[in-house]
Structure 1
Amino acid sequence: MLLIISSIFLILFLLIKWYFNSTKTKNSPPSPPKFPIIGNLHQLGLFPHRTLQSLAKEYGPLMQLHLGSVPVLVISSPEGASEIMKTHDRVFANRPQTKLYDILLYDCKDVSTAPYGEYWRQIRSISVLHLLSAKRVQSLSTVREEEIGLMMEKINHCCSTSLPVNISDLLSTTINDIVCRVALGRKYSGESGKGFKKLLLDFTELLGTFVVGDYVPWLDWMTNVSGFYARAKKVAKQFDDLLEDVVEDHINRRKGASDEQVCLDTEDQGGDFVDVLLWIQRTESLGFPIDKTVIKALLLDMFSAGTDTISTLLEWSMTELLRHPNIMKKLQEEVRSVAGNRTHITEDDLGNMKYLQAVVKETLRLHPPIPLLVPRENRQDITVKGYHIKAGTRVIINAWAIARDPAYWDQPEEFKPERFLNSSIDIKGNDFHLIPFGAGRRGCPGIVYAMVANELVLANLVHQFNWELPGLETLDMSETFGLTMHRKTPLLAVATLKNK
């Protein structure tokens, strides 16, 4: 009997020792006090990039939060970002999986949210090699120049009325038209395309929605009861139906064509992305099969990552130029000098416009379209900057805060494109002071595509027209936060032809 009692006490002692050892707090990053159940959720506020910046000033550039039951590491310094996206890039290469992503993005079969692994490597290679390579981007220059030409005609028409141009709406429509032609082979604008534009707006709004059930699972029933998931499923079904029709139409049009002819069309004559993906599927040219679901998931990435972000950046570029007429004038002088007597800027001109490139970089610094980069997640326990980060921690990199840190930027709140004229800092993920597109394995593969579109649109806007604010109107700089960081109110400006 004594032996049994002694054994029970020994087992209890060992269990208690194991419990305290296993729950003993390791050297975790600094963390603000948290509430039971919700943790630090109440501290995020309406503009998380700003509140996280404020918290980081108090608790440090590597800070741990607890959003409900989810541990979150917040990075607010270039050194910390380098640790995550370079030094330990492989460990932090995973994406958190959410119910909303599953609904909207074909169970995370797209490049942006797919779990790290062989499948992700395969589909990313499709994007890098066949959809967003420099050669592919260049082959689609005619599409961009045609749509920008149509945009210029709309502005020219407004000049005769002296009414303000809704720049926000104009840029959104133009970028949507470019992406639709590049990805799907046709536009979905005008009266017949209103449904598509509404669908795209609903889709991007849903993607940027905070879902409490992701952080407090037992409250997910509230999201269900509210009808949010039902709405997401409806939008996903509508988008799927549209993409299904597009893919089937391309299949029918390609019937009877040889692989060689399809390859010629897609590689040399600027075939749209559906053509390219169907050719890859048909020939298995990459050594692995892809099905229709993968094709549709990759097309969805183009819309979620290639429309809202580009138009938002252009919107903020024009906002800052209107706020700073002297910078607008300097940019116009450069663009008009390069263009000479020509009415339109072409992509061949962009390499000679250093100040234009500086303006775009400075806009990306002050107004990154996605201020909190798409979250990552570590696949194993790891030590970062001396802190223990347990597996499954969600990592948020505050690119907005990093780009405004006075320790690295002179007058960080000021719009000063000149800071980039003699600077080696780039935006391709090699310099962690400026990471609007992320970096490392999960960095955005569409940098070349995005930058060409931004520079070409902006150059043409300032080349052909002079711009000013309507009357004595004060420029509202308020922002909204979602998937991207938009202006709160549409940007309106009066355009006049440059020779008037």
Structure 2
Amino acid sequence: MSSVEIYSEAVDAMQGHLAAAAICIAVLLSTWMLFRKIHRFNKKLEKLPPGPRPWPIIGHLHMIGKLPHRNLALLSQRYGPLMSLRLGSVPTVIVSSAEMAQQFLKTHDHVFSSRPAMRCAKNMFYDSIDVTFAPYGHYWRLARRICVSELLSPKRLESFRFQREEEVSVITIRSLLEECATVSNPVVDVTKTVSAVVVDILCRMTFGRKYSDNEGYDSRGFRAMIPQVSSLLGAFDIGDFIPYLEWMDLQGFGRQEKEIHKRADGFYEKLIEDHLVQKGSQETRDFVDVLLSVYENSTPEVNLGRDSLKSLLMDMLHAGTDTTSTALEWAMSELLKRPLVMKKAQEELEKVVGLNRKVRESDLPHLPYLQAVVKETLRLYPPAPLMVPHESMDSCTVSDYEIPARTRIIINAWAIGRDPTSWEDAEEFKPERFMGRSVDVRGQDFELLPFGSGRRGCPGIQLAMVVVEFVLGQLLHCFDWRLPDGIQGPDLDMSEKFGISSRRAVALLAVPTPRLPAQAPEPQCS
């Protein structure tokens, strides 16, 4: 073998050794970088609240189930009232106690006042420009101010008192009385009845008129559309949590949302045009008139576009009807299970109102037990069992845990209302717990948060409470109620179906018997 060949083989061998060494170094560097990354990730996890180990890709989405508020409450019993989850690729913190809720909604409210991007809000609420889903900022503050000062102010709500009293006392009660007069022991669909009266009240206040069952967004009417919107708003959309799957629309939510938006947009456009044509001809200005006045008198500081008007009107209709009708059907459910509690509420009504007339809104402040029944209902059945998610705008330390920026915060109002550390006999329906107690629903008492708290608290609390107390009081005062033959209180189906509000899974049926004279006076316009 020549010296040239020997040299060539030596060079090849050296190159092979160098290549092997380079590969080894690359593997070692990659391994070292991977371990450093894992170490940093574990260090980051150490600062987060405790929680179960996530699965690859889906994280903890498989743990949500059909009733997320109940499943998350069970998980929180194991991991604590501040629990860390990863929903797909989205870091999420679950809050399940009054103490922790106060940290997020009061102490650090300025950090957690934004909303995460949600496809349902983008598709149905004009790219999230309503009050409920808009991210925190100048536009949201402007829209909320308009709602609070122009639409939901005490003066504005008082101007609609007659419409509310007429819908409940005259139209709904008269319809039930006629049914009792024509049919012996009629079985009434209470769910449908309370939903109908709430929709009619909100339509008259918002649009200036009512819509029949085959009117509204389409031939199915508002009453069919509202539960569908509620279901979509409460759904855990895979596309929100695993973004690269959004285009596939695996659950079909995106298609449904766009169909609803198309029909709703056509309805609201026609509604606005009709109000422009009839401008100045109505005695009482409805919400559309008020918003058009703001729209037409826009300034650089207060400037709303047409889509903003439509998104705010959608808020008024859907948020107002779904939450109040849900509270009413659960209140009636609990009272039908507990005739003695119903009797006690009726005795208070008889003492304050008498049996010669119907209830008026002015009677409500003098009915503390009725108010306690409503509060107890909202404690056990908050209108939104999982509040609309918050999102952190910056990193923040809460109870020694580090909450990173852009973390989704889910507050489990259902779990907080049933927390045994806050409530004695937490699972029992006991209105008496509120008698002589100052706990209120307006967001200052964090053990009771049916309407949220802080900057993102519901601006329509006053309207919701008036409608729920008035409708419930009128139904109890005008009728005795019992379950249909063959059903006892303990046998009543109390199962629920989840949405942004948690409604009964099956309609509530009951038999009314009139309590008042047939000619009890109706409310008069004042």
For normalisation by structure 1, the TM-score amounts to 0.92
Question: How far off is 1:28 after superposition?
Answer: 1.2
Deviation at 1:280, TM superposition (A): 1.2
User: Given the alignment of the two structures, is residue 32 of structure 1 paired with residue 47 of structure 2, yes or no?
Assistant: no
Tell me the residue number matched to 2:242: 216
- The Cα offsets for residues 243-286 of structure 1, whole Å up to 9 and x where unpaired, read as 010011111111xx5xxxx9xx7xxx641100000111222379
Cα deviation for residue 317 of structure 1 reads: 0.5
Paired residue for 2:156? 136
2:216 equivalent to 1:183: no
Can you list the C-alpha shifts for 1:12-39, whole angstroms capped at 9, x where unaligned? Answer: 7997898577533242110112211111
Q: Aligned partners of 1:216, 1:394: CA distance in 2, in Å? A: 14
1:483 and 2:509 are equivalent in the alignment: no
Q: Are 1:158 and 1:164, in contact at CA under 8 Å, matched by a contact in 2?
A: no
Contact 2:96 2:412 survives alignment (8 Å) = yes
State the Cα deviation string for residues 400-423 of structure 1 (Å, max 9, x = none).
111111111010111100100111
* Greater CA drift, 390-399 or 199-208: 199-208
- TM-aligned CA deviation for residue 204 of structure 1: 2.6
1:74 shift after superposition: 0.4
Q: Deviations over 1:163-201 (max 9, x none)?
A: 211000011111111111111111112454553223334
Maintained 8 Å contact 2:231/2:498: no
1:368 counterpart letter in structure 2: P
Is 1:393 the equivalent of 2:407? Answer: yes
Aligned to 2:173: 152
CA-CA distance at 1:340 after TM superposition = 1.8
2:357–2:516 contact (8 Å) kept in structure 1: no
Report how far residue 344 of structure 1 moved. 1.6
Once the two structures are aligned, what percentage of the paired residues are identical? 46
Q: Comparing 340-349 with 238-247, which one deviates more in the overlay?
A: 340-349
The aligned counterpart of 2:358 is: 344
Deviations 1:209-263 (A, max 9, x none): 2211111222224316x64322221110100100010011111111xx5xxxx9x
Number of the residue aligned with 2:139: 119
* Residue aligning to 1:45: 65
| 3-state SS in 1 of match to 2:204 | helix
The size of the alignment, in residue pairs, is 480
Deviations 1:39-70 (A, max 9, x none): 11111111111111111111000000111111
* Aligned mates of 1:212, 1:452 — CA distance in 2: 37
Structure 2 residue 74 is the aligned partner of structure 1 residue 74: no
Distance 1:483 1:17 in 2: 42
Asked if 1:469 corresponds to 2:483, the answer is yes
Q: Does 1:384 align with 2:398?
A: yes
1:495 corresponds to: 512
Whole-Å separation in 2 of the counterparts to 1:191 and 1:39: 43
Is the 8 Å Cα contact of residues 395 and 405 (structure 2) preserved in structure 1?
yes
Q: Residues 242-391 of structure 1 correspond to what in structure 2 (within 5 A)?
A: 242-254=267-279, 270-284=284-298, 287-391=301-405
Amino acid of the residue matched to residue 355 of structure 1?
A: Y
Q: Which residue of 2 aligns with 1:205?
A: 231
The answer to whether the Cα contact below 8 Å between 2:115 and 2:133 also exists between their aligned partners in 1 is yes
CA–CA distance in 2 between the matches of 1:122 and 1:363?
A: 33
Structure 1 residues 374 and 326 mapped into 2: Cα distance closer, same or farther (>3 Å)? same
1:44–1:20 Cα change, 3 Å: closer
Quick one: distance in 1 between partners of 2:39 and 2:215?
65
Query: Larger radius of gyration, structure 1 or 2?
Result: 2
Question: Is 2:113 the partner of 1:93?
Answer: yes
Contact persistence 2:387–2:452 (CA under 8 A): yes
Shift of 1:142: 1.0
Following superposition, the deviation at residue 343 of structure 1 comes to: 2.5
- What CA deviation, in whole Å up to 9, does each residue of 1:264-321 have, x standing for no partner? x7xxx64110000011122237941112111101001012210111001000000011
Are 1:54 and 2:74 matched, yes or no? Answer: yes
Question: Structure 2 unaligned runs (5+)?
Answer: 1-21, 518-526
Letter in 2 for 1:485: S
Residue aligned with 1:307, SS: helix
- Separation of aligned partners in 1, 2:215 and 2:68: 37
Give SS of 1:63's match. strand
Match of 2:220 in 1: 195
User: What is the identity, as a one-letter code, of the residue corresponding to 1:462?
Assistant: L
Residues 82 and 432, structure 1, Cα contact 8 Å, conserved in 2: yes
SS in 2 for 1:249: helix
Cα shift at 1:339: 1.2
Q: Which residue of 2 aligns with 1:107?
A: 127
For 2:125, the aligned partner's letter is L
Instruction: Kindly state the Cα deviation for residue 424 of structure 1 after the two structures are TM-superposed.
Output: 1.2
Question: Structure 1: where are the runs of 5+ without partners?
Answer: none
Match of 1:172, SS? helix
Question: Aligned equivalents of 2:516 and 2:289: distance in 1?
Answer: 43
Match of 1:232 among 253, 257, 262: 257
- Larger mean Cα displacement after TM superposition, 199-208 or 416-425: 199-208
CA distance in 2, matches of 1:410, 1:231: 43
CA RMSD of aligned residues (A): 2.2
- Partner of 1:219, secondary structure, is helix
1:163 lines up with 2:186 in the alignment: yes
The DSSP-based 3-state class of the residue aligned with 1:493 is strand
- Provide the C-alpha distance between the structure 1 equivalents of 2:150 and 2:111, rounded to a whole number of angstroms: 27
Give CA deviations for 1:139-174 in whole Å, capped at 9, x if unaligned: 111111111121101211221212211000011111
| Residue type of the alignment partner of 1:178 | I
The one-letter code of the counterpart of 2:453 is A
**1:227–1:402 Cα change, 3 Å:** closer
What is the one-letter code of the residue matched to 2:397? Answer: T
Distance 1:367 1:288 in 2: 37
CA contact (8 A) 1:343 1:464 kept: no
Q: Are positions 1:440 and 2:454 aligned together?
A: yes
202-211 or 159-168: which moved more? 202-211
CA separation of 1:492/1:17 partners in 2, compared to 1, >3 Å: closer, same or farther?
closer
